[in-house]
Chain A
Amino acid sequence: MDKIPILRMGHFLLVTIQTDLYDRLAMSLEADLVQMVSKTNAKGVLIDISAQSIVDSFMGRIIGNIASMCKILDAETVVVGMQPAVAITLIELGLELKGVHTALNVEKGMELLQTKIILPTEDTSDDDDYSA
């Protein structure tokens, strides 16, 4: 089965969806991504959908799910690069993706994540410093 690659960039994860999504593929992305966030302790997730010519209610829901799940795992999600036609269609369909951050492109998405996240300081140890 096809798989959508997840790239690790420091404290962030980047997913670029290049193929046409069908439901099972989207669902496995959701599972993989949440696993990965937890495993890598990522603080931010960027989902680049600029290559997607359509996003329907199912995919929209998966994106919303990913954002909510990551939030619980203490990571922010930004969806970047949505095409104008896709945005217009989603609004008409009735899906606003509330609770999901958006940005025009990966670069701006990074900037947004950086403002949203207080990155762990140059601490060599991996675990969070509650006591301090």
Chain B
Amino acid sequence: MSNQSPDLAKTLRKKRNDILELWMKNQLADVSLREDLLTNEELRAQSEELLDVLLQNLNERNIAEVESADFEPVVEVLSGISISRAKQGFTPRETGLYIFSLKDALLTVVQQELKDDPAQLVTAVLTISKLVDSFGVTTFETFIKGREEVILRQTDEITEISTPVIQLWDNILALPIIGTLDSSRTQVVMENLLQQIVDTGSSIAILDISGVPAVDSLVAQHLIKTVSATRLMGAECIISGIRPEIAQTVVHLGIDLSNIVTKASLASALRYAFGMLQLDVKKTIREK
């Protein structure tokens, strides 16, 4: 390969304008051109930027090494283009084809330049194909990464939505937990609860776990920590909604909940909270 590579990068750089014109011509002639999403001027500017950063960073060594760190600036521009195209509404297929149409332009130019040397032409074609294919893959990776970020963000949002803190009464907060409690969710629940305690100045928090399918020792540990942290801040935390199965597991696992106020239902926890605040709920007797 070393017998031809030295020229290839230089040749391409020399032919920059031809390549750009060819590439633009290919793109504008394509039936799938999305003028609705990107004007022709914008498309040209985008293509020019990509081609220039590629040609600037290309040399005789790295042209055959698609993994070379030299291509970082290219990958950066490419990722930027992929992301902005994805946002504009291009399909990954359209963006992929956009990159591959650059290959056609590059190959046409190389073909003209090396038409007298079939052996070198074959090598050059292979090298260029490999390089552009790898860029194509990059655009897909970027696209997927973008999607993954959306999913991660949504996961975070769901976790937040699924742990609402409710002000039940002056000084009393309730946090009904529904669904499985894992470490990271408990973390969110705990932080949420403690922050709300500060924000509302509530001195009693009720953690209702009737919607939690199972309590293992890790979850119990987290619950105990939540209660301890609440106390450090100067509030009291009651755990309610303990089903008989959960009481059984807790004891079987040897978890000591004796320092924690536990109640079977949210209603009895509320009654207990009223007691702590010295509040009395009474039926009013009306005159008949």
Interfacial residues, chain A to chain B (CB-CB below 8 A): 78-88, 90-92, 96-97, 101-105, 108-109
Is the pair A102, B194 in contact by a Cβ cutoff of 8 Å? no
Is B229 in contact with A104, judged by CB distance below 8 angstroms? no
Interface centre among B198, B201, B203, B230 (most CB of A within 10 A): B198
**Cβ-closest chain B residue relative to A50:** B198
A102 touches B228 (CB 8 A): no
Which residue in chain B gives the minimum CB-CB distance to A79? B234
How many A-B residue pairs lie within 8 Å, measured between CB atoms?
58
Structural contact, A90 and B232, CB atoms closer than 8 A? yes
Q: Does B201 contact A87, Cβ atoms closer than 8 Å?
A: no
Say yes or no: B234 contacts A96, CB within 8 Å: no
Contact A84 B234 (CB under 8 A): no
User: Could you list 19 A-B pairs, sorted by A, with CB under 8 Å?
Assistant: A82-B232, A84-B191, A84-B195, A84-B197, A84-B233, A87-B194, A87-B229, A87-B232, A88-B194, A90-B229, A90-B232, A91-B225, A91-B229, A96-B232, A102-B234, A104-B198, A104-B201, A104-B233, A108-B201
B231-250 residues with Cβ-Cβ distance < 8 A to A are: 231-235
Q: What's the minimum C-beta distance from A79 to chain B, rounded to whole angstroms?
A: 8
B190 on the A face (CB < 8 A): yes
**Min CB–CB distance B175 → chain A (angstroms):** 14
Contact call A91/B228, Cβ cutoff below 8 A: yes
Which residue in chain B gives the minimum CB-CB distance to A82? B233
Check if A88 sits within 8 Å of B190, measured CB to CB: yes
